[in-house]
Structure 1
Amino acid sequence: MANIDMKAMFSLTYGMYVVSTNLDGRLNGQIANTVMQITSEPLCVATCLNKANLTTELISKSGVFSVSVLERDVPMTFIGQFGFKSGRDIDKFANVKYRMSEGGTPLVEDWCAAAFDAKVVRTVDMPSHILFVGEVRESVFFKEAPLLTYGEYHSIKKGKSPKTAPTFGFNALK
């Protein structure tokens, strides 16, 4: 990587999201910054998650996921519940306000401005991650609020990327 300046990656803009799923009544979710709309007809979004994460395993089996868009004012304790703990050890949805979409995925209401439910229509296997492409089946707008960007997560909230995040290598640049 002699010709790659990792600082250049900070010029890409990202939001911050809770990506969740439901497999046979088992809810799980995680913090992600890799979510984007990729088409409008049909309306599709994509997210890319580490293969080691429980959320990835459950989405692979359930074929559905939701994306909840985090507000800028979200406290680090909320981010920590979904981002720094494993659903193998805790119920990430304990004490979290959410509603179930018609498709059966949890749409997080706490600290979120909007949420989407999607059915997986394609996956792309990457070396360490899986890219899920989902057709949006439902969306809800909760409220007007400034949204948390990945840059603000680091500069304002002083957050770090966990080992399984695609941006983990950026921690050393701070």
Structure 2
Amino acid sequence: MSLDPQKFRSILSHYPTGVCVITAMTARGEAIGMTVGTFTSVSLDPLLIGFFPDRKSTSWSEIAAAGRFCVNILANDQEWLCRKFATRERDKFAEVVHRLSENGQPILDGAVAWIDCSLYAVHEAGDHYLVLGQVEAMALASERVASPLIFFQGKFGQVASIETPLA
């Protein structure tokens, strides 16, 4: 049986994913970043997160070389940041307000939360890498209650609040 990658993509589009921007500082002291839609928690002991950058990504190769990065969980009103960091533009930080974490990694203003990590492991996974990061620091980025930006069926959206608790 032949499996069609487009059908695979279409079927998986029925499962929503959160949108994050992975940021880092290069050895040259330049802020770099990339958008990912495949981010997850992995382990509580040690605290590990994971994401899957494309093997052709030039941004990922620079982030990997830095050995440290920050996961910025985007808010539902930050689609423009998602799109900006998904381009091949060299200076993705032009007009992007950010500050540096205690470990020197860029934190994007307005993100729901940030997670500062050191590179724990990288594994080949088809046309992507599985990247594991060990959490060094983390915080909700602000006191505002924000819905995260999600991607579902080829469109951006937000999480609707649940009025009744699950049984």
TM range (shorter): 0.7 to 0.9
Verify the 8 A CA contact 2:52 2:130 in the aligned structure 1. Answer: yes
Look up the match of 2:34. Answer: 30
Q: Please give the per-residue CA displacement for 1:63-101, whole angstroms capped at 9, x wherever unaligned.
A: 11111011112243x3322112333xxx11122111211
1: distance between equivalents of 2:14 and 2:155?
Answer: 13
Secondary structure class of the residue paired with 2:148: coil
Secondary structure class of the residue paired with 2:13: helix
TM-score w.r.t. the length of structure 1 is: 0.77
**What is the identity percentage for the equivalent residue pairs of Structure 1 and Structure 2?**
22
Secondary structure class of the residue paired with 1:85: coil
**Residues 101, 153 of structure 1: alpha-carbon distance in 2 compared, 3 angstrom cutoff:** farther
Secondary structure class of the residue paired with 2:61: helix
2: distance between equivalents of 1:129 and 1:156?
Answer: 25
**Residues 155, 2 of structure 1: alpha-carbon distance in 2 compared, 3 angstrom cutoff:** farther
1: distance between equivalents of 2:112 and 2:122?
Answer: 27
Say how many residue pairs are matched. 152
Structure 1 residue 126: deviation in Å?
A: 2.7
Structure 2 unmatched runs, 5+ = 159-167
Higher helix proportion (structure 1 or 2): 1
Look up the match of 1:145. Answer: 146
Task: Decide which structure has the larger Cα Rg and report it.
Answer: 2
TM-score w.r.t. the length of structure 2 is: 0.80
Over aligned residue pairs, what C-alpha RMSD do you find?
2.2
1: distance between equivalents of 2:99 and 2:44?
Answer: 25
**Residues 99, 35 of structure 1: alpha-carbon distance in 2 compared, 3 angstrom cutoff:** same
Moved segments of 4+, more than 6 Å:
none
Secondary structure class of the residue paired with 2:59: helix
- After superposition, residues 75-114 of structure 1 pair within 5 angstroms as 75-76=79-80, 78-87=81-90, 91-110=91-110, 112-114=111-113
2: distance between equivalents of 1:154 and 1:23?
Answer: 32
Structure 1 residue 105: deviation in Å?
A: 1.3
Secondary structure class of the residue paired with 2:77: coil
- After superposition, residues 1-174 of structure 1 pair within 5 angstroms as 2=2, 5-6=7-8, 7-24=10-27, 25-76=29-80, 78-87=81-90, 91-110=91-110, 112-143=111-142, 144-151=145-152, 154=155
Verify the 8 A CA contact 2:118 2:134 in the aligned structure 1. Answer: yes
| Deviates most, 67-76 or 28-37 | 67-76
